[in-house]
Chains A and B, each alone.
Chain A
Amino acid sequence: MDEFDVIETPENVDLQRRLAGIGSRFAAGLLDTLLFAGALVILLLVLLVSGLMVLDDGPGLVREAGVWVIALLVVLLFLVYWGYFVLFETWMNGQTPGKRYLRIRVVQQEGAAVSFPTIAIRNLLRVVDLQGFYAVAGATMFLTRRVQRLGDLAAGTVVISEEVPDYAAKSDTRTTVPGALAPVPAALEAAHLRPEEYRLLYNYWLRRDQLSLEARRQLLPKLLGPILERTGTVPAENTLAALERYLEDLLRRALVPGRDSGPEEQP
């Protein structure tokens, strides 16, 4: 189940954000952890090798240089450990490689892009969130309305999903709707339809191929029931096909007569 969160934009329009679920956030976290553990392991190996070089009674110059290389490596280790998330989220506007892959992003609760102090807060608090393999994070995400871990709560951030649904591919493929969404009041009345009923039925029509046959068989009689009763119509057969034919006809009648419009099967 998708969870949503509404923000009011400066344009006075309420936009709905789809919050990233616990699943995708853990997947992104796992990916990032693998990347950053890999980096740490490589650094540690290099550190080990240069440490051996320094211990070895090699030429003085190698020792001198080696000492500084080790110092640099220690600083790098520290930077990767504490900085991986902070630096990536700063550079990539709220994303890390893992988050990029899963198409999720950190944003401010109010909707703006994240700023550096907020990123620092949520990622320094990670040391608390990751206790017990991120059990603390999981628990707070489960309990908060906006799926926030402790770091998010303190920083005032949410993680949102940026996947843009591929609308055209999923619905509307079998129906052409050239200029036909708005019904004509007079025609509605003639078809004994209330506006909200029309919208409901129309949406059913658009999305019917996303529903299972079983669901359609259960749903459609309920939707049509009151209308059939009101108009005293009895469908020829009580099959789904017959009811949908009736529905199609009904929707067609609610639109301007004569115009090439209304739900139509494409050839």
Chain B
Amino acid sequence: MTGAGFSETRQARWDRLEALVSRAQKGGLRALTETELHELTRLYPAAAVDVARARLHQADPGRQRRMNQLAIAAHGLLYRRTSAGGLQAVWHFFRGDYPRLFRRLWPCLVLATVIFLVGALGAYVSSRLVPSHAYLFVPHGLDVSDPGEVTSADISERFRQMPNPPMAAGIMSNNISVAFHAFALGITAGIGTCYVLLMNAMMLGGFAAHFANHGLSYPLWSFLAPHGVLEIFAILVSAAAGLRLGFALALPGARTRGASLRLGARDAVLLVLGTIPMFAVAAFMEGFVTPSYLPGAVKIVLGVTIAAVVVAYLLLVGRDAPAGVRHVHAGQESDS
């Protein structure tokens, strides 16, 4: 850049770049026509070179900064990861990426299950031995303080009084929130995730023991099974996502802690996002099957079957993917 640095033609190009960039910043790339988009892709590399040249010749800092800001804005508009958008991406994800991810992260799921079982069984045994312990584990709102009066028919009856659609919607929102928290709290090196997991496990254990103490185990389980089996499984998967995040932060291995965290977060967020449909199915069951008048045995079979179908999907789908389409992260191929 000799002289003022800007021949007339180059100045014109920069003006054009600025006009295109500022429009694309306001309305997104959609605000540009196809021709303008092509123009932007040609203007940007030349602009980047101008920035370098201006720096080499130590042009006026004010001007350098302005050129730099424009170039970086254009860069952010043009460079992005290519991916199919919208429904196609969702289909691709569930068609193969998600089951493969699930199979790759099975150790986290095993750990989450162990923690859950420890909490649930601990609360169960403790409440069976000392019945009053159940009140420690079960939140007050559930109103089970006097199950002597509750008959097996009553448990479902209470649910039947609520209109189904809002129930299903409310339950789904609540459960997905729990799942998101289980994932997000993984950033505390997994400690927060364990907390969420144990709280939910102890609640279930205490609840089950409380009903068992009054000889109501069968009604309770026939009531919980249609939605509960899948719901608990989905919570375990979300907790596995939180643990993945926690491990990435706590044990980065050969990577830097930052790189390990980013890699783990990507695995984990996809794992937890994939539980959303599971919660939707579980909520549907809870809203419409749980309060129904089907016999208890049918309800239990139904609940276990649906959960089994989901597990089969996670274990079997996507095994036939051609080598080139496998899930690849920063050079590390999944072992699917």
Contact = CB atoms under 8 A, between A and B. Distances in A.
Contacts of B183: 124
Pick the most buried of B4, B61, B177: most chain A CB atoms within 10 A of its CB.
Answer: B4
B3 A180 contact: yes
Interface stretch (A28-36, A65-73, A225-233, A245-253): A65-73
23 contacts: A7-B72, A9-B75, A13-B71, A15-B68, A82-B176, A92-B28, A112-B79, A113-B80, A121-B265, A124-B183, A124-B272, A128-B184, A155-B262, A160-B76, A162-B73, A164-B70, A165-B69, A166-B66, A178-B3, A180-B4, A181-B3, A182-B2, A199-B58
A71 B169 contact: yes
Query: Chain B interface secondary structure, helix, strand, loop or mixed?
Result: helix
Contacts of A7: 72, 75
A127 to B, nearest CB: 5
B71 A15 contact: yes
B76 A112 contact: yes
B4 A178 contact: yes
Contact of A113 (B45, B77, B188, B264): B77
Contacts of B3: 178-182
Interface in A158-204: 160, 162-167, 170-172, 177-182, 199, 203
A125 B187 contact: yes
B46 to A, nearest CB: 9
Interface string B26-57: 10110000000000000001001101100001
A54 interface: yes
**Shortest 8 CB-CB contacts between residues of A and residues of B:** A71-B165, A179-B3, A113-B80, A78-B173, A154-B265, A74-B169, A167-B66, A71-B169
Nearest to A115: B81
B170 A181 contact: no
A178 B83 CA distance: 47
Contact of B273 (A11, A15, A120): A120
B89 interface: yes
A11 B49 contact: yes
B69 A164 contact: yes
A254 interface: no
A207 interface: yes
Given A128-B188, A165-B62, A113 B79 contact: yes
A71 B166 contact: yes
Contacts of B262: 153-156
A70 B162 CA distance: 12
Nearest to A77: B173
Contacts of B13: none
A72 B69 contact: no
A120 B276 CA distance: 13
B65 to A, nearest CB: 6
Nearest to A118: B266
B212 interface: no
A18 interface: yes
Given A13-B49, A75-B173, A125-B184, A171 B60 contact: yes
A97 interface: no
Contacts of B326: none
A144 B133 CA distance: 46
A205 B129 CA distance: 87
Given A74-B173, A154-B245, A67 B163 contact: yes
Contact of A120 (B22, B163, B269): B269
Contact of B270 (A9, A54, A117): A117
Interface in A81-116: 82, 91-94, 100, 105, 107, 111-113, 115-116
Nearest to A175: B60
Interface string B147-191: 000000000000000011110111011001100110111011000
B85 to A, nearest CB: 8
B25 interface: yes
